[in-house]
Chain A
């Protein structure tokens, strides 16, 4: 292993070109992540034809760099404009935007960037040293375990918005209901599509979150009238101090571990990792009341979670030849075009390639941190521009990006509808966070529950008595009970119905 590592390092040093490639690919990735609608998958897919010109190792370095960059890139737009550039950044909006709105955009971007780098490096190190055992652990996860994992995330909907229990549940269940639209993945029956053919594929998640976050925010800001000049004019580009960042270290570690494991599971990726990291950070936080209002932990958790999932999703790719996420599926296509057969033999037959990718991903994270910290201060300045001009520009960018994603007008229509939904949720104090968690985790929970039941011959006891499933479900039940108890204790029910103020996220 050390030999392979040294020989790969030798290759990298002997090819100064590869450093340039990594730098280019990270920037390319950040752009694709940051433009709303465009995602890392598109960024990787567009680069594949160019990898023909390079040898396979350089090609993989390029794709790995894009993957790393795009996962962070999404958080820039999420923090500055409440516009998640890619699905995995949706969670970062929840606390990043409120913090930027307070005038601390530089701090929010700095935390996001540093957390991304920490998560990314953690995930890559695990990939380097523990890929085979972790791949075996991932194989232990069948449908029953996926279901339990989704339930663990979903139980957070009741408490996460900081408002009333019932409102959290309503918002979360609305998210679950929206996720039902489309073709039933098991039976092929159309559900709640109301005869619309384009809805058969379900509500496009990226279009929905851009509508809920970005459009709803623009509508709100324009309806609220001219800014009183109190908030956005004072934009601090001050980066977080080291001490401020280290205050989130427990969150960083927990989220990185969660992210790596979830990333390693085929079929669920960075988005799920970000949300489960966020709900766990909330659950274990000493200051849960700050969540949704600009909590540093609320930024650090999803960003370290989704970036560590990048390394995690490379685990099944390199150890077994099966993709851990949609982006790695595209990378597999890139490998096969070069005549490399992805599979368990890859690590032995192409160890130079594999170890170069490891080193490349570490470098990509470091470069991202070094250049990103400088860029973050620049980006934060954008907020000084008047919202009268920025608001419409955000709308244009969202529409163009969502359209370009699939060349599909109906995705843009979905985004408009969800702009309305987001506005509605805000107006009635229904927490957006709960809604989105339901939307993300609903399909995983449903499909895996039904697959699990088929495999267990429809016996629910067989399903829940599996060790990992049982543990996760008990954990969910305990934390749900704990959350409800905490809420009852905090707000005695005697004073009627304590309502949350309208959500600002």
Chain B
């Protein structure tokens, strides 16, 4: 039920966004020389079509909700859609946050340190019996990858800033 409601919200938002972006396209600067094939021609076609498709889909969803407001008999597909394992959203948020954290860490503390910590943290989100493997894998993979990129392919890796930059500079 929650999923169906969220669908209605999402496709309604997309319909509105398409219309808004259609008007954004309309407001693009006009080029004298290419007036008949200007910057707004293709975007208007795309957003116009997108708006119509989203509106149709939205109408279907709303009609479905009205016809069977409290579920009714569900198909197997819908059962599958509705199935959410326990702890799903917690793990989703933790994983997402960890990846975003890693992205910023790469820029501030450089590749080696950020990767090491990320791999350690990442391996503990899901339970796994072999703790030794978890502890050893992170440094091994980090060093391997650093060696591969900076010596094998002579490509640069993120070095971080400040003191971390100098540290990275000395290592790779």
Contact = CB atoms under 8 A, between A and B. Distances in A.
A54 interface: no
B53 to A, nearest CB: 5
B34 A392 contact: no
B85 A224 contact: yes
Size bin of chain A's contact surface: 35 or more
B162 to A, nearest CB: 16
Given A222-B125, A393-B141, A192 B53 contact: no
Interface residues of B, number: 75
B75 to A, nearest CB: 8
B41 A450 contact: yes
User: What secondary structure prevails in chain A residues at the interface with B?
Assistant: helix
Interface stretch (A276-284, A383-391, A465-473): A383-391
Interface string A432-456: 0000000000100110011001100
A392 B60 contact: no
B158 A403 contact: yes
Interface in B43-58: 43, 46-47, 49-50, 53-54, 56-57
Nearest to A175: B46
Interface string B40-82: 0111001101100110110011011001000000000110110
A238 interface: no
A167 interface: yes
Greatest chain A CB density within 10 A among B43, B99, B103, B123 is at B99
A502 B155 CA distance: 38
Nearest to A185: B39
B52 to A, nearest CB: 9
B4 to A, nearest CB: 10
B49 A173 contact: yes
A501 B81 contact: yes
A138 interface: no
A502 B82 CA distance: 10
Nearest to B14: A170
A497 B4 CA distance: 12
Given A397-B145, A496-B64, A407 B126 contact: no
23 contacts: A38-B155, A169-B53, A170-B53, A173-B49, A176-B46, A187-B33, A187-B34, A191-B25, A222-B126, A224-B85, A225-B85, A387-B126, A389-B133, A389-B134, A396-B119, A396-B141, A396-B142, A404-B153, A404-B155, A407-B156, A450-B37, A453-B36, A497-B61
Given A46-B153, A387-B126, A396-B142, 14 more contacts: A38-B155, A169-B53, A176-B46, A180-B43, A189-B29, A191-B25, A222-B95, A388-B125, A388-B128, A395-B118, A399-B106, A404-B153, A428-B10, A496-B67
Interface of A: 38, 42, 46, 166-167, 169-170, 173-174, 176-177, 180, 184, 186-187, 189, 191-192, 215, 218-219, 222-226, 386-389, 391-393, 395-397, 399-400, 403-404, 407, 409, 412-413, 416, 419-420, 428-429, 442, 445-446, 449-450, 453-454, 458, 496-497, 499-502
**8 closest A-B pairs by CB:** A392-B122, A223-B92, A450-B37, A187-B31, A173-B50, A388-B128, A404-B155, A446-B42
